[in-house]
């Protein structure tokens, strides 16, 4: 018996990287999943991977922009109808833009916080009534090692992830007595859609020596933007544990997944 048989889960950021890997892992463990993203081509790739694994019957793709309130309201409502309720939400959607902080525009700052922080809030807000109908439910939000450790040129991204981390602690306390758990995962040195494009977003005069402290101590086999990275599946496995009964006593905390980068 799979530990997620009968579980109904909404996953954002499902079109690529960690979000896609999470969808596939949850399906492999028996869950019914609505995978949401803004990218239809990526969602189709996720569906095809699920089909290859023989699990596409339990996957529904949903076009949703987490940075747009009306899209989230309609999207979560659609997910609830599809799944006939909700047991867990995984907020993996996010973007990264890098710049010298003194050169960052307000528009760029606001875009990052809107998608990452406000988007997570909107999905949580809309999903909470359904989650609270269960005696045991879970929210898994995505922070980052940048929320706690210095990452150059990423002040806005770090601020958004720190905000997610703080919000998750508040959710855990506010709703814990009603059976809801809220947890953050904080990935670092993981290959994803974000890491594959970060090199192009970094300032042309970036001081690459500043990134020397962001190298994992465990061996990795993948490359992204010239750096050693782990496969997204290493995060997906942790998420699957957190939404299952194996994570039943984990709430109000962060789990760092970075290969010992910040050991």
Confidence tier at 201 by pLDDT (50, 70, 90): low
**Residue pLDDT, tens place only, 113-139:** 999 999 999 999 999 999 999 999 999
Give me the residues paired with residue 227 across strands: 224
Report the pLDDT value the prediction gives residue 221, as an integer from 0 to 100. 67
Report the pLDDT value the prediction gives residue 234, as an integer from 0 to 100. 94
Instruction: Work out the mean pLDDT of the chain and round it to a whole number.
Output: 92
pTM of the model: 0.91
Catalytic residues: 157
**Residue pLDDT, tens place only, 149-174:** 988 899 999 999 999 999 999 999 99
8-257 has which CATH code?
Answer: 3.40.50.720
Which residues lie closer than 8 Å to 45 by C-beta, 6 or more apart? Answer: 15, 16, 20
Please report, rounded to a whole number, the percentage of residues in the chain having pLDDT higher than 90.
Answer: 78
**Residue pLDDT, tens place only, 42-68:** 999 999 999 999 999 999 999 999 999
| Residue 220 contacts residue 229 (beta carbons within 8 Å) | yes
Q: Which of 129, 9, 19 is nearest to 79 (CA)?
A: 9
Query: What residues does each domain of the chain span?
Result: 8-257
Confidence tier at 211 by pLDDT (50, 70, 90): confident
């Amino acid at each position: 018996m799979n530990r997620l048989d009968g579980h109904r889960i909404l996953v954002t950021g499902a079109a690529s990287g960690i979000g896609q890997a999470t969808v596939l892992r949850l399906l492999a463990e028996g869950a019914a999943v609505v995978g949401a993203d803004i990218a239809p081509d990526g969602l189709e790739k996720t569906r095809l991977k699920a089909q290859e694994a023989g699990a596409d019957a339990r996957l529904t793709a949903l076009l949703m922009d987490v940075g747009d309130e009306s899209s989230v309201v309609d999207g979560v409502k659609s997910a609830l109808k599809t799944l006939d309720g909700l047991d867990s939400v995984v907020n993996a959607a996010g973007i990264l833009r890098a710049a010298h902080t003194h050169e960052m525009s307000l528009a760029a700052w606001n875009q990052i916080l809107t998608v990452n922080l406000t988007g997570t809030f909107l999905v949580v807000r809309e999903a909470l009534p359904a989650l609270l109908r269960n005696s045991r439910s879970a929210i898994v939000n995505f922070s980052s090692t940048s929320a706690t450790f210095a990452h150059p040129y990423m002040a806005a991204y770090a601020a958004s992830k720190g905000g997610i981390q703080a919000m998750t602690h508040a959710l855990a306390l506010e709703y814990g007595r009603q059976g809801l758990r809220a947890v953050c995962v904080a990935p670092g040195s993981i290959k994803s859609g974000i890491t594959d494009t970060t090199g192009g977003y970094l300032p042309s005069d970036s001081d690459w020596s500043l990134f020397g402290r962001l190298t994992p101590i465990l061996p990795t086999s993948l490359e992204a933007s010239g750096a050693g990275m782990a496969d997204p599946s290493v995060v997906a496995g942790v998420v699957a544990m957190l939404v299952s009964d194996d994570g039943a006593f984990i709430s109000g905390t962060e789990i760092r997944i970075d290969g010992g980068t910040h050991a």
